[in-house]
Chains A and B, each alone.
Chain A
Amino acid sequence: MSPDKIIVLIGGIGLIGFIVWYFLMRPEEKEEARTEEGAQEIKILVERGYAPETIIAKKGILLKLMFERKEEDSCSERLLIPEFKINQFLTPNAVTEISFVPDKAGEFEFRCGMGMLHGKLIVKS
Chain B
Amino acid sequence: MASKTVYLSGMTCASCALTIERTLKKQKGVKNASVNFALRKAFVDYDEKEANTEDWVKKIKERGYDAEVENDHPQEEGEKDREEKAREKETSELKRKFLIGLILSIPIFFGSYPMWFPWMPEILTDFRILLLLTIPVQFWVGLQFLRGMIAGFRHRSADMNTLIGIGTLAAFFFSAGVTFFPEIFPEKLRGDIYYDTSAVIITLIILGRYFEALTRGKASQAIRALVGLQPKTAHRIRNHESGIMNQEYDEVLIEDIKVGDLLLVKPGEKIPTDGVVVEGGSAVNESMVTGESMPVSKKIGDTVIGASINETGSFIFRAAKVGKDTMLSGIIKLVEEAQASKAPIQKLADLVTSYFVPAVLIIAVATFAAWYVWGPAESAFTFALLNMVGVLIIACPCALGLATPTAIMVGTGKGAQNGILIKGGEALERAYKINTIIFDKTGTLTRGEPEVTDTVLHSDKSPEVLISLAASVEKRSEHPLASAIVEHAKQKNIPIFEVSEFKSISGQGIQGRVDGDIIQIGRQSFLEANNIKINANVSRDIDRLSGEGKTPVLVGIGGNFAGIIAIADALKEHSAEAIKKIKQQSIETYMITGDHQKTAEAIAKKVGIENVMAEVLPKDKAQKVKELQEKGKIVAMVGDGINDAPALAQADLGIAIGSGTDVAIETGDIVLVKSDLRDVIRAIILSRRTVRTIWQNLFFSFFYNGALIPVAAGLLFPFFGILLNPILAGAAMALSSVSVVLNSLRLQRIKI
Contact = CB atoms under 8 A, between A and B. Distances in A.
Interface in A71-116: 71-75, 77, 80-82, 85-89, 91-92, 113-116
A84 to B, nearest CB: 9
Contacts of A73: 144, 148, 161
B711 to A, nearest CB: 21
B95 to A, nearest CB: 14
Nearest to B368: A12
B49 interface: no
Contact of B369 (A8, A24, A80): A8
A16 B370 CA distance: 13
A20 interface: yes
B440 interface: no
B61 A38 contact: yes
Interface in A4-24: 5, 8-9, 11-13, 15-16, 19-20, 22-24
Interface string B55-99: 000100100000000000000000110110011011000000000
Contacts of A74: 86-87, 90, 213, 216
Most chain-A Cβ atoms within 10 A of its Cβ — which of B58, B83, B86, B340? B340
A86 B354 CA distance: 22
Given A15-B365, A86-B340, A114 B151 contact: no
Q: Is the interface of B mostly helix, strand, loop or mixed?
A: helix
Interface stretch (B28-36, B248-256, B355-363, B726-734): B355-363
Contacts of A48: 148, 151-152, 154-155, 157, 159, 161
Contacts of A16: 362, 365-366
Interface in A24-45: 24, 26, 37-38
Contacts of A56: none
Contact of A89 (B79, B216, B358, B397): B79
Contacts of B404: 115
A65 interface: no
Given A49-B157, A80-B340, A115-B401, A92 B86 contact: yes
Contacts of A114: 398, 401-402, 405
A118 interface: yes
Q: How large is the interface on A (under 10, 10 to 19, 20 to 34, 35 or more residues)?
A: 35 or more
A92 to B, nearest CB: 6
B624 to A, nearest CB: 31
A32 B69 CA distance: 28
A20 B156 CA distance: 11
- Give the most central of A77, A92, A116: most B CB within 10 Å: A116
A22 B358 CA distance: 9
Contacts of A51: 155
B700 to A, nearest CB: 16
B155 A19 contact: no
Nearest to A75: B159
A53 to B, nearest CB: 9
A87 B339 contact: yes
A89 B401 contact: no
B238 to A, nearest CB: 39
B369 A19 contact: no
A24 B157 CA distance: 8
A115 B349 CA distance: 9
Interface string A111-125: 001111010000000
A92 B93 CA distance: 15
Contacts of A81: 340
Contact of B86 (A9, A15, A24, A77): A77
A73 B157 CA distance: 15
Contacts of A26: 156-157
Interface string B129-146: 000000000000000100
A114 B741 CA distance: 12
Nearest to B80: A89
B691 interface: no
Nearest to B360: A19
B14 interface: no
A96 B23 CA distance: 29
Contacts of B401: 114-116
B354 A118 contact: yes
B353 A115 contact: yes
A80 B369 CA distance: 41
B373 interface: yes
Nearest to A50: B155
B337 A23 contact: no
A85 B87 contact: no
Nearest to A38: B61
Contacts of B82: 89, 91
B200 interface: no
A83 B158 CA distance: 26
Nearest to A51: B155
B137 to A, nearest CB: 19
Contacts of A92: 86
A116 B358 contact: no
A40 B89 CA distance: 34
B173 interface: no
A20 B405 CA distance: 29
A77 B86 CA distance: 9
B309 to A, nearest CB: 28
Nearest to B341: A82
A50 to B, nearest CB: 9
B264 to A, nearest CB: 35
A11 B87 CA distance: 43
Contact of B350 (A20, A47, A115): A115
Nearest to A91: B82
B275 to A, nearest CB: 28
Contacts of A15: 365
| Closest 8 pairs (CB-CB, A-B) | A12-B369, A87-B340, A114-B401, A23-B358, A80-B340, A26-B156, A48-B152, A116-B401
8 contacts: A20-B362, A23-B156, A24-B355, A24-B358, A48-B161, A114-B401, A114-B402, A116-B159
Interface of B: 58, 61, 79-80, 82-83, 86-87, 89-90, 144, 147-148, 151-152, 154-159, 161, 213, 216, 336-337, 339-342, 346, 349-350, 353-355, 357-358, 361-362, 365-366, 368-369, 372-373, 397-398, 401-402, 404-405
Given A8-B369, A51-B155, A116-B353, 9 more contacts: A8-B368, A8-B373, A20-B358, A37-B61, A48-B151, A49-B155, A73-B148, A115-B404, A115-B405
